[in-house]
Chain A
């Protein structure tokens, strides 16, 4: 999967200055006094056939972006362009036609499957509702879907609670695939799984992408899984993207101090490399209600200087690799 070849001039999905705010209401009449700025002005493009990894600590807004793309969160401002149409303001009725293009795989394979439905019901319901195949072919299509995700046919009549976490996640993937989407938002799909199972599921994602020409937005809180699966990586901090670039570039030449800190936070398999100087983050993530003025990262940044407290750095660099730091070049 060479991302360079797949890249087309116009992206499959692009976010333009996307903002998702949650109002905080107070007082007797509950007027809005402030906003939790979960996503605060994000520009992002995803090209057909690629996997874009989106990483950041919990609460940075990465999941909110994923949910906004599939219509589970209403954007406060900005545009979400899918195949050239702005879908940000779509009502749920208008979204229905797009359901077969945009799907999501959730983090928790235990709560994302209706406990009262058998696998066959879970998988045939979307096929029937959207008339993906004729009624007579539903059963055959379910078999095909199970086959695609590596589950045996005899799992059809089982209930979700009879499966392990990894198997459930496969069912969740099969359900997302049932509508034959172009883009799948993977919302931390492996972080709830055992490490040994994670690799299997990641491989499944890779295989499916190759076979079905899928595009992924792969959300994760650590760089581990993302490194393995992504063509490009975007790093988020407090509702903004601080660095974006091809996976190799990001790992070999991280420009933003936050990216470096994230990298140093994940364990290094090679003991000889462990001695190099690490960036260890101090303090907690500031509140997204009142993000710090200037660069949002300056309160925790080991390189911060006076300018960082005053001016907010723009995302700069070439079209491939850019970062939002005054000292990144």
Chain B
């Protein structure tokens, strides 16, 4: 097991490095060199020339990359071209709200998808099954920004019961209840996506398991149906879902960009959009890289969890 974890980490390292290279290449396509972005815009003009030489801005691309990479390893993502703040600080301050939004949506989405998917599979071709499958199709087919706008229209404009933007009411202290109220609509939108994608997945995974011989064996030896389902079927059906959860992370990041924009949620997504709009490339790149690193770490954790749960995976080989 230990070897397996180590090997997974070793595989993740070249991917991480590759991600920084791709990021660097994309950055190079933007106006201004990536290394340029490391210089604080507040530096006086005389010091600028010296700084440029120090960073090797005249050097060939790979030297520039190495110089940039060295700073990256020290956690230096450069400075925002607009606010002059270090990019890392900006990202860290926005991380909390986004993780809150994504975490809550993921948990609720899975809490809906798993039982509904299992039920749907057990009662295949029932009304409940059709409703669940159709709902799942809607969940993946309705654009989240349209759903968001619809929710605002109904709950904020028409019924006036939910706040339409921000994480806390302006001028108020905030507090748990206030954040919760602001969280409801964005979470509904992201949850609809998560549940939509996963209901059908859980359902088909469960249907496949229900056809297995060992379930027939379990029934044949006189086990109660609930026991057959809970002990034998559900456990095996849920193992592949761990992988799917890992795949949700990058999708949720993407969803967060759109959703935070609509609901003015002060997170990573909103920062992404505002930096794109103001062409703040150093911030954009920092964000992109951070998101990629989070995804890789999440995938790593997924793989390891999978290996822990699935007895068929052999770690030694």
Contact = CB atoms under 8 A, between A and B. Distances in A.
A268 interface: no
A26 B317 contact: yes
A2 to B, nearest CB: 52
A139 B3 CA distance: 59
B10 A26 contact: no
A26 B7 contact: no
A27 interface: yes
A28 B316 CA distance: 9
Interface string B203-239: 0000000000000000000000000000000000000
A28 B317 contact: no
B6 interface: yes
Interface in B271-317: 316-317
Nearest to A25: B317
Secondary structure dominating the interface of B: helix
A184 to B, nearest CB: 36
A28 B3 CA distance: 6
Contacts, number: 8
A291 B118 CA distance: 48
Indicate the member of B6, B10, B317 with the most A CB atoms within 10 Å: B317
A28 B6 CA distance: 7
Nearest to B6: A28
Interface residues of A, number: 4
A32 to B, nearest CB: 13
A28 B10 CA distance: 8
Contacts of A28: 3, 6-7, 10
Contacts of B317: 25-26
Contacts of A25: 317
Interface string B239-274: 000000000000000000000000000000000000
Nearest to B317: A26
B289 to A, nearest CB: 27
A27 B10 CA distance: 12
Contacts of B10: 28
A26 B316 contact: yes
A26 B3 CA distance: 10
A275 to B, nearest CB: 40
Contacts of B7: 28
Contacts of A26: 316-317
A141 B10 CA distance: 56
A55 B3 CA distance: 41
A26 B314 CA distance: 11
Interface in B61-100: none
Interface in A12-28: 25-28
A68 B229 CA distance: 48
A26 B7 CA distance: 11
A25 B3 CA distance: 13
Nearest to B9: A28
Interface string A235-246: 000000000000
A25 B317 CA distance: 7
A27 B3 CA distance: 7
B251 to A, nearest CB: 31
Contacts of B316: 26
B316 to A, nearest CB: 6
Given A28-B6, A28-B7, 6 more contacts: A25-B317, A26-B316, A26-B317, A27-B3, A28-B3, A28-B10
5 tightest A-B CB contacts, nearest first: A28-B7, A28-B6, A28-B3, A28-B10, A26-B316
8 contacts: A25-B317, A26-B316, A26-B317, A27-B3, A28-B3, A28-B6, A28-B7, A28-B10
